[in-house]
Structure 1
């Protein structure tokens, strides 16, 4: 504000100087000045005055723009604060309102994009954590805490009653999956160890996301973008992975039993210790994919239905199979 006032005062002083100083310096010549000369001097003064007025107008425009920008920033801050309050509510309707309000802010404000993505990811992790109870744990651990163990078992049973994510969690996933892709994100989207069973992630953009240990059994990931994603120990049993892009994805120890990988892109994917038993690999692209250490019963039929290449790393028993070798030759000849 002080700098703007100083600029206005300075422009005013310049205007006065332009208007009066020439006459002060040449006052002795005024009685003899001719009419054409006076007209020329007046024209110059008028032009200089117009230039000064233009400068003042420019300063006013700059000030107005700055004020509008500050007001807009204040409005964004107010909207963000209100949205955070909504998603912190215990009422699903208010949570939904807060989630979609954050999406609107994310699209309007580039600088708030990263923060909102992290907030929504944290919301999913908090409201849909992966189940921690396993019947494989020794009961000795609970010998002195029988009541607590019973409570945990009951909660686990209630949790399994409806495996779909709660509506606000699904909304947060939807917003994350369709977030703008033309912006830099200085972090990896963290959805690790979450319970996303039967979630709808159709076409979601989850490139490079951390999905370590995530429960995605029966999830809809049709056409999803998971390039470079980390899915170590992820549970993808019976998941819909048709035409999903898993290029360079890390699938160490992933559970892919009976998953539908129809025409999926597994180029350079690392499937060390992954379980592909019963998985549909029809048309799946396996260029440079590492299937050499998969567990479960990977069959010749699965590979023959897929698109293995000479660069595909296969178990020895399958790499030497005549049908698999013939399929590789056919795919290489197609060159697609």
Structure 2
């Protein structure tokens, strides 16, 4: 019913406009200046009638031109919208094809093909906002399921190149995803992973990532963002966390022997039950009264001095 009305109303309005236009041409001069116009038109009265009718015609032409421009603009907008929708559909189809191809490569037995799949997924993650969640979940599942050279006893060897690449891609995810969803990497074994960067904008971003029980032994995480990360029971022995942001991270039971903490931000981090926290390294880091430290550390005069600063 509404669609029928939308089609009918413009025609009724156009017909009414034509009738009004004709009436104005016919009787308009007398309605406007009846006192000076009689039945018999002299030269002066004829000029008035001609001028009035010319004005009405000009106004009518202007209205018609304006309506023409309006409908042309509306049609152009409609065409552009259709083109945009078609372009978006085409792009979605291309992204889907790329995604399917990348996942197939990820399941390959050839490490080179798996690397190609991982980096293809990274490109999709940066190109398509809607696919970022899916890509991160796929890469997280790949990391959880893929065997590594690190044994359960953390007798660490070298980590496979594709595992290293997948973890690096997650750490380079677009920053707008930081609070979008949780990333579950519990028990991940990426000992010796290198994620450091001299450019703060390209530093590893593992904010709020769950890495409970993960093996990051010997990992290079200089300048990495681990704010709010869960590292309960994680192995960070000999890892590099220089200038890293570890604020509000949970490190209960984490193994920290030999970890480098120079200029790291440990504000509000939970280190109370961590193992082998190096005191000299702690003193080189930034911490505050909200940082949970082992009792033996809070009893140290140098630590007390920093807390009172």
Same fold per superposition (TM over 0.5): yes
**In 1, Cα distance between the equivalents of 2:222 and 2:248?**
18
**In 2, Cα distance between the equivalents of 1:260 and 1:182?**
29
Query: Structure 2 unaligned runs (5+)?
Result: 28-48, 197-202
**In 2, Cα distance between the equivalents of 1:78 and 1:86?**
12
- Corresponding residue number in structure 1 for 2:177: 183
**In 1, Cα distance between the equivalents of 2:69 and 2:218?**
73
- Corresponding residue number in structure 1 for 2:37: none
- Residue 239 and residue 17 in structure 1: after superposition, are their counterparts in 2 closer, same or farther (change >3 A)? same
- Corresponding residue number in structure 2 for 1:331: 306
Q: Tell me the CA shift for residue 199 of structure 1.
A: 0.8
1:65 equivalent to 2:59? Answer no
Question: Matches of residues 8-157 of structure 1 in structure 2 within 5 Å?
Answer: 10=7, 14=10, 20-23=15-18, 36=54, 37-128=56-147
Q: State the TM-score, normalized to the length of structure 2.
A: 0.76
Question: Matches of residues 136-215 of structure 1 in structure 2 within 5 Å?
Answer: 163-183=157-177, 185-202=179-196, 203-215=203-215
Q: Tell me the CA shift for residue 128 of structure 1.
A: 4.1
Mean alpha-carbon deviation: is it higher for 212-221 or for 124-133? 124-133
1:256 touches 1:279 (CA, 8 Å); kept in 2? no
Query: Structure 1 unaligned runs (5+)?
Result: 135-155, 293-313
- Corresponding residue number in structure 2 for 1:153: none
Aligned length: 275
1:223 touches 1:243 (CA, 8 Å); kept in 2? yes
Q: Tell me the CA shift for residue 197 of structure 1.
A: 0.8
Q: Deviations over 1:128-170 (max 9, x none)?
A: 4695655xxxxxxxxxxxxxxxxxxxxx9xxx6x722211111
1:261 touches 1:279 (CA, 8 Å); kept in 2? no
Provide the alpha-carbon RMSD of the alignment: 3.3
Q: Tell me the CA shift for residue 109 of structure 1.
A: 1.8
- Corresponding residue number in structure 1 for 2:274: 274
- Residue 280 and residue 128 in structure 1: after superposition, are their counterparts in 2 closer, same or farther (change >3 A)? farther
- Residue 279 and residue 172 in structure 1: after superposition, are their counterparts in 2 closer, same or farther (change >3 A)? farther
**In 1, Cα distance between the equivalents of 2:189 and 2:115?**
19
- Corresponding residue number in structure 2 for 1:298: none
**In 2, Cα distance between the equivalents of 1:236 and 1:56?**
63
User: Alignment partner of 1:90: what SS?
Assistant: coil
User: Alignment partner of 2:176: what SS?
Assistant: coil
**In 1, Cα distance between the equivalents of 2:82 and 2:306?**
66
Mean alpha-carbon deviation: is it higher for 43-52 or for 91-100? 43-52
Q: Tell me the CA shift for residue 210 of structure 1.
A: 0.9
Question: Matches of residues 302-321 of structure 1 in structure 2 within 5 Å?
Answer: 314-315=295-296, 319=298
**In 2, Cα distance between the equivalents of 1:241 and 1:23?**
81
User: Alignment partner of 2:177: what SS?
Assistant: coil
Q: Deviations over 1:224-265 (max 9, x none)?
A: 111121111111111122222221211111111122222222
1:129 touches 1:194 (CA, 8 Å); kept in 2? no
Larger radius of gyration between Structure 1 and Structure 2: 2
1:223 touches 1:242 (CA, 8 Å); kept in 2? yes
Q: State the TM-score, normalized to the length of structure 1.
A: 0.70
- Residue 280 and residue 259 in structure 1: after superposition, are their counterparts in 2 closer, same or farther (change >3 A)? farther
Q: Tell me the CA shift for residue 330 of structure 1.
A: 4.7
1:245 touches 1:264 (CA, 8 Å); kept in 2? yes
- Residue 41 and residue 166 in structure 1: after superposition, are their counterparts in 2 closer, same or farther (change >3 A)? same
Q: Tell me the CA shift for residue 44 of structure 1.
A: 2.8
**In 2, Cα distance between the equivalents of 1:83 and 1:199?**
23
1:18 touches 1:45 (CA, 8 Å); kept in 2? no
- Residue 123 and residue 17 in structure 1: after superposition, are their counterparts in 2 closer, same or farther (change >3 A)? same
- Residue 130 and residue 19 in structure 1: after superposition, are their counterparts in 2 closer, same or farther (change >3 A)? same
